[in-house]
Every structure is written in C-alpha cells, then in structure tokens.
C-alpha cells in the first residue's frame, strides 16, 4: 500500500496497464472488458485483405487486386485469424464488422 502511494505521488499509475485498460473500458461503456475485446489491431494491409474478402473476392483475386502473391494473401488471412481468434473468413469478417473496422459497401 505504501509503495502504491509513493508511485502515485511520483505522478505514475499504481495500476498495471492491463488493469488500467479494464477500468477505463468499464468506465466508458458501463461494462467490463472481456478477453475477446483485447485484440491486437490489424495492420493496414490486413485490413485491405479483409475488406476485399468481405466483398467476396477469392484469395487469388485479392492478391491480383493488391499486387501481392496468393501465398502472401493466405499469410495475411492466417495472421488475421490468429489476431481475432477465429477460424474462418466468415468469422473474421463478422468480427471486423462488429468492431467497426470495416464496412460492407
């Protein structure tokens, strides 16, 4: 307790970044954050791939559109699935829509 008071007196936070994030999340939304809400943001290229996947393009068509190889598209999708903790293109698109990261035009 004494250490926490000293830390705050020095202008620092007594809370870990993880706890501080949860406190802010709950204060802003009125609900606690969950593990599923804590994901690493997608890169701009991953968002490009996901937007095109949401439009129904195949991996080859996405690669052609973005000027990247088919295996590179597959790599981006694998990274997206891992970051979002999903197992399919449909789940990834659904999660990105839920988070407001992409919109379907």
Q: How far is CA 28 from the centre of its chain?
A: 19
Please state, in angstroms and rounded to a whole number, the distance separating the CA atoms of residues 73 and 50. 10
pLDDT in tens, 19-56: 555 555 565 555 554 555 677 889 999 999 999 999 99
Helices (H), 10-67: 17-29, 44-54, 59-66
In this predicted model, what pLDDT tens digit does every residue of 78-98 receive, in sequence order? 999 999 999 999 999 999 999
pLDDT at 80: 97
pLDDT of residue 23: 52
Q: Where are the domains of the chain?
A: 2-37, 44-99
Q: By percentage, how much of the chain surpasses pLDDT 70?
A: 65
pTM of the full predicted structure?
0.63
Top CATH class, 44-99: mainly alpha
């Amino acid at each position: 307790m004494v250490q926490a008071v000293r830390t705050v007196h020095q202008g620092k936070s007594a809370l870990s970044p993880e706890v501080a994030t949860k406190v802010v999340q709950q204060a802003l939304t009125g609900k606690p954050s969950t593990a599923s809400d804590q994901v690493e943001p997608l890169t701009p290229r991953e968002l490009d791939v996901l937007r095109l996947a949401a439009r129904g393009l195949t991996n080859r068509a996405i690669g052609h559109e973005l000027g990247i190889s088919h295996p590179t598209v597959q790599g981006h999708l694998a990274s997206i699935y891992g970051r979002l903790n999903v197992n399919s293109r449909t789940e990834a698109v659904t999660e990105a829509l839920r988070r407001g990261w992409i919109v379907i035009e």
